[in-house]
């Protein structure tokens, strides 16, 4: 998996700032997503939400994945991707949920970082998210066989 050339440059330039605000981003992301899509409350363990485990895990996973996209020498993310995929399947996450998650995640990035997130930067991080989501789905499919 590789980022397109323009998103690569934008993600590389903004990765440190996104990483610095990753916990704030996920802190906005989950409440707004659950408010708009309460049906997802059944997919995400609420006890874990209160202690902050999923927000930290999401932030760390997306940033580690972005690092792998930027640095071919970074550790292989495939084992982590397989573990994430199995977790999502065990929680009953459906393919349609990835669109909802992506929408709310990028919206949270924009809200937390404000005007620093140009439409081009948002699109670049959207590409990172979709590569992550597709990799998650692919990891799940590969794990079946």
**Virtual CA dihedral for 58, 96, 42, 34, nearest 10 degrees?**
60
Query: Is 74 a residue whose pLDDT tops 60?
Result: yes
Mapped onto helix, strand or coil, the DSSP state of residue 72 is coil
Look at residue 121 in the predicted model and tell me its pLDDT.
Answer: 95
At the topology level, CATH places domain 5-144 in Globin-like (1.10.490)
Task: Say how many CA atoms lie within 13 Å of 80 toward its Cβ.
Answer: 14
The residue ranges of every structural domain in the chain are 5-144
* pTM of the entire predicted model: 0.82
Helix (H, G, I), strand (E, B) or coil at 4: coil
pLDDT of 94: 78
pLDDT digits (tens, 9 = 90+) for 10-24: 999 999 999 899 889
Contacts of 119 (CB under 8 A, 6+ apart): none
Q: Which of 6, 31, 25, 2 is nearest to 132 (CA)?
A: 2
Tell me the average pLDDT across 85-108.
84
Across the range 73-91, mean pLDDT stands at: 83
């Amino acid at each position: 998996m590789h980022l397109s050339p323009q998103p690569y440059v934008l993600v590389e330039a903004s990765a440190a700032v996104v990483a610095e605000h990753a916990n704030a981003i996920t802190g906005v992301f989950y409440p707004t997503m659950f408010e708009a899509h309460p049906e997802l409350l059944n997919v995400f363990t609420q006890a874990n939400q209160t202690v902050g485990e999923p927000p930290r895990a999401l932030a760390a996973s997306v940033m580690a994945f972005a690092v792998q996209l930027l640095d071919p020498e970074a550790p292989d993310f495939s084992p982590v991707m397989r573990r994430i995929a199995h977790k999502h399947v065990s929680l009953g996450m459906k393919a349609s949920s990835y669109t909802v998650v992506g929408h709310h995640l990028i919206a949270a990035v924009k809200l937390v970082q404000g005007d620093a997130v140009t439409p081009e930067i948002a699109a670049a991080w959207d590409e990172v998210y979709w590569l992550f989501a597709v990799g998650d789905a692919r990891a799940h499919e590969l794990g079946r066989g």
